[in-house]
Structure 1
Amino acid sequence: MSAVPDGLLEVGHIRRAHGVRGEMSVELSTERLERVTPGARWFTRGEWMEVTSARPHQDRWLVTLAGVSDRTGAQRLTNAAIYAEPIDDPDELWVHRLIGARVVDTAGRDVGRCTAVVSNPAADLLELDDGRLVPVVFVTSLDASTAGDVVTIDPPEGLLDL
């Protein structure tokens, strides 16, 4: 398996060939449609590939990549992970920026480091280094500083009490 270049994010998986003209069924792990617009670049199986077309199909996408023109070529990519460069959108909270960030409350008190973001039906949860969980809805900002990213939270009273 080829090494994935530093800084890329996993954005989905190619699941299987669809039809005979190189189209593939793709399962995205993101809601960002920029990942499937024509011209989007994916890193998979050790090389960069470009999306030439995509359309929604059931709960997945049917995607054609430049250089993949038949079923055999599409089958070679079955179950391949898809990586892409991070999207620069300051209005979004990105998991790769939250993990490892220092977490402070609105008074500036340090409450720990975010070690994981746990998927939860009501709201994703920041897992702190001491095991406490903070719903992402209480994040008020994510600021980059010279010492790394800092997440500010405004939790209700008692949420951080063990």
Structure 2
Amino acid sequence: MPQLIAMASRSKSTSGTDPRHPAGLLEIATVGRAHGVRGDVVMHPVTNRLERFDVGSRLITAAGERAVSRARFDGNRWLVSFEGIDDRDAAAALTGTTVFAEPLDDPDELWVHELCGSSVIDQHGFDAGVITNVVANPAADLLELDTGHLVPLTFVVRREPGAVHVEVPDGLFELG
């Protein structure tokens, strides 16, 4: 049985057709409310690659590029400060801002933005449909297909441009 390929990011893909989603960048978080008086904000990540919040990381917003100057996890949320955002008023102005970043280069990982739009091919060569979404699930993230089928990510054995190959129990695609 092939080794499981890990899901490395739930980052959303951007198409470039929406001016709020710059082409080639991944949505990684939304800025929540201001926290404290020194310019910190609460971040709501949509990625599980937390190095995105490392000090010095370059993140992109509609207002331009910002560098992370401080970041910490306080037990249930990320508190982040950006260079040039030094007080509560400036931090509050960022509330609701979507934050983007360049894709990470890690060929051993599966990325949502690369999976969506790919065909799912089972071990018998059957084309089960096209991936429209990756659904977070505690047991294993699920590939949601345009046919309505859900395929656990743990069934993925390899990915190639335009196709994801899976080994699934016989009859899975006959259900529903």
Same fold (TM over 0.5): yes
Which residue matches 1:158?
171
SS in 1 for 2:172: coil
SS in 1 for 2:114: helix
- Indicate the percent of aligned positions where both proteins have the same amino acid: 48
Shift of the alpha carbon at 1:105? 1.7
- Asked if 2 retains the 8 angstrom alpha-carbon contact of 1:4 and 1:46, the reply is no
Q: TM-score, normalised by structure 2?
A: 0.82
Shift of the alpha carbon at 1:89? 1.3
SS in 2 for 1:3: coil
SS in 2 for 1:11: strand
Aligned residues: 158
Q: Return the match for 1:63 from 80, 83, 87.
A: 80
SS in 2 for 1:35: helix
- Asked if 1 retains the 8 angstrom alpha-carbon contact of 2:69 and 2:81, the reply is yes
Which residue matches 1:100?
117
Which structure has the higher relative contact order (CA within 8 Å, separation 6+)? 2
Pairing of 1:122-133 with structure 2 (within 5 A): 122-133=139-150
Shift of the alpha carbon at 1:119? 2.3
Q: Read off the aligned partner of 2:164 and give its amino acid letter.
A: V
Extract unaligned runs of 5+ from structure 2.
1-18
Shift of the alpha carbon at 1:11? 0.9
1:15 to 2:32 alignment? yes
1:115 to 2:128 alignment? no
Q: Read off the aligned partner of 1:86 and give its amino acid letter.
A: P
- Asked if 1 retains the 8 angstrom alpha-carbon contact of 2:128 and 2:147, the reply is no
Q: TM-score, normalised by structure 1?
A: 0.89
Moved more, 20-29 or 2-11: 2-11
Q: Which runs of structure 1 show a deviation greater than 6 angstroms over 4 or more consecutive aligned residues? A: none
Q: Distance in 2 between matches of 1:58 and 1:45?
A: 29
Q: Distance in 2 between matches of 1:116 and 1:23?
A: 32
Q: Return the match for 1:54 from 31, 46, 71.
A: 71
